[in-house]
Chains A and B, each alone.
Chain A
Amino acid sequence: MSLQRFLQLICTSLLLGIFCGCAKKETQPTTFLLPWMQPNGTYELTEVTLMTLKTPHEMSGTAAQVWVAPQLTTSGFGGPIARPRLTKSGNVYIPIDAQSSLAVVMYAQLERLLLFEQKLGTAQHLKWPRRAAVELPVPGQTGSATNNAHYFPTLDVIGILPFSISTGVPLSLNHGIVAHEHFHAHFQAAVLAPLQKSIPTRNPSLDWLLDHQHLGTTVMATDFIFNSAGGMPYDISILNEVVLRAWNEGLADLFASNYTGQADFFTPSLPEQKGKRALTEALSPLASAADLRARALEVPTYRFGELLGFAYQQGTALAKLLYRIKKHEAIDSIAFQRFITERLRTRVLPLAAANYRDNIMDFDAIVPVLLEELQLTRQSCDALEAVVTKNVYVKNFAGCSL
């Protein structure tokens, strides 16, 4: 072998060595520079260390799997798991484009939620890794939908839609909004899915309708089972779906507040929500079944979305009440969230199952099943009196009358 050939062999070996080095697995933990929420609720760039990623170059680990702008399919998300474009400055990985940053932050939030759930003792109620997408393309009424986030119950995935506002915190970076969507998985697992099993004719459900709308299936509100008896355009179970949606949304707001420590986590992303969904706003009464029935009589089936809007309002009213009681009772956020989450399966599910087909539930029916074991202070009693009907107050909170 000539010397020249020998030297060429050495060069080739060196290159092969480099390629092999490229394939090595990262060791944990891994630190990223990310847009991140601070303890006071503001957002700024922060070095965040993650513990559960297999490699910084793919957003897949024990906490989550994250996709960027995937296709929504009947089994979840199609296409490859997000591979952020990164560079390394010292021992810190820097995302070199916005989509990469969104993907890493989504993983990081779900890792933090896993830790939170482990503190609560509720992590085992859900399947991990959680699946989530950022920049999810979803058809809207005109073009693509934006500035929204969904939990898809039949798929058990979170999808954050593109953010079209030029200022503020994108929804996928907002810890409160991601936590809110995450909580829906608990309500699904503890209440809605068992309800579906116990009442097999609960089909098509509201969840099914919403998921299939996003999947592009042409589904109309009239696909529900509508019993038109007595001039009522909706079946009782459909109106109970509205009540369940209110509870689901309200408890999701409460969960997000307990997780973030913030009473108003929407405003950094959606300033128009300021004063509407902040949990420190004035209390408002929860509606009765009669109120819902009266409202439903005025809303034809093709305007079913208006009833969903009503559900969100009622959800906020419930969340504000529970937030206020947590404050008045000086209960630790983790302890209070554990208290609430544990009651989903043991108290809320039996309540829903007992009434789902035959009786429209009052929106405040959930309050006693969540709180009846607490010895409430005068301030909490006053809050309850302002929100629940007199009947529920007198019947279930006798301690308040003493």
Chain B
Amino acid sequence: MNYILIVFVSIWTWSPAASAAVRAWSVGFAAENRFERQANADDAKVEPSGQVYAAMRTDGRLGLLLETGAQKEERSGSGSLRVVSQNYSLGAWGRSFFLLEHRLQPLLAVGVGSHWERVTTRFENSDSTRIGQRYFAGLGAGVNMPIGNYFEGEVEGRVSFLEEGVEPQYSLLLKLGLRI
């Protein structure tokens, strides 16, 4: 899977579109609300996470976005069982923009990446901290718009498929970036 991620990023980086003159770079923050289904799949919780990203756009309609984020620590327990987990993620997304002549530009995205979960479990007199990893691949759709001369805002909805996952994961991102 690591190789897939590298290949994916490389293809976009070395593609004729990407090798054309880069029109713009931007860096920024994103707030992601991920809809996490619970062990009873009828229940879902919204788990917020903060991200930082760096994005580039070419002269054409294509772009690449790299992002990393950390989710809020999640605590649960029953009796002496205590579970504390926190999710970290790294993703690379290829993006295609439309209606380039408009101020509001719709975008579609495909991406791959990885989630790391740090899970600390305590039970009676024992405890354990493990770091697990799950890869994901996802699709996204959203709208990008400039804010003044130096900033940009973006709203994006995503559906991600986790490695071995039994159902897709949905999230909504709000991004605020600085164009450099």
Interfacial residues, chain A to chain B (CB-CB below 8 A): 3-4, 7, 10-12, 14-15, 17-19, 21-22, 24, 26, 33, 35, 42-45, 55-58, 67-70, 79-80, 82-89, 92, 94-103, 162-163, 165-170, 172-173, 269
B133 & A79 in contact (Cβ 8 Å cutoff): no
Among B39, B40, B134, B161, the one with the most A-chain Cβ atoms within 10 Å of its Cβ is B39
Interfacial residues, chain B to chain A (CB-CB below 8 A): 1, 4, 7-8, 11-12, 15-17, 36-43, 74, 76-83, 85, 94, 110, 112, 115, 117, 119, 121, 123-128, 130-135, 137, 161-167
Given contacts A22-B161, A33-B121, A57-B166, contact A94 B132 (CB under 8 A): yes
Note all chain B residues with C-beta closer than 8 A to A68: 38-40
Given contacts A44-B125, A87-B133, contact A98 B81 (CB under 8 A): yes
Q: List 19 A-B contacts (CB under 8 A).
A: A7-B15, A11-B8, A11-B12, A12-B110, A18-B1, A18-B112, A18-B137, A55-B166, A58-B166, A68-B39, A80-B40, A83-B41, A84-B39, A85-B37, A87-B85, A98-B82, A99-B38, A172-B78, A173-B81
Where chain B touches its partner, the secondary structure class is strand
B11 & A7 in contact (Cβ 8 Å cutoff): yes
CB distance from B108 to the nearest CB of A (A): 11
CB distance from A73 to the nearest CB of B (A): 14
Residue of A whose beta carbon sits closest to that of B165: A22
Note all chain A residues with C-beta closer than 8 A to B163: 21-22
Given contacts A45-B127, A58-B166, A68-B38, contact A101 B137 (CB under 8 A): no
A82 & B39 in contact (Cβ 8 Å cutoff): yes
B164 & A173 in contact (Cβ 8 Å cutoff): no
CB distance from A269 to the nearest CB of B (A): 7
Complex: how many Å from CA A42 to CA B135?
Answer: 36
Where chain A touches its partner, the secondary structure class is mixed
A11 & B117 in contact (Cβ 8 Å cutoff): no
Residue of A whose beta carbon sits closest to that of B36: A85
CB distance from A127 to the nearest CB of B (A): 23
Among B8, B11, B38, B127, the one with the most A-chain Cβ atoms within 10 Å of its Cβ is B38
A94 & B17 in contact (Cβ 8 Å cutoff): no
Note all chain A residues with C-beta closer than 8 A to B85: 87, 96-97
A96 & B124 in contact (Cβ 8 Å cutoff): no
B165 & A85 in contact (Cβ 8 Å cutoff): no
Q: Kindly identify which residue among B1, B81, B119, B137 contacts A15, using a CB–CB cutoff of 8 Å.
A: B137
Complex: how many Å from CA A33 to CA B12?
Answer: 39
Complex: how many Å from CA A55 to CA B12?
Answer: 35
Residue of B whose beta carbon sits closest to that of A83: B41
Residue of A whose beta carbon sits closest to that of B20: A4
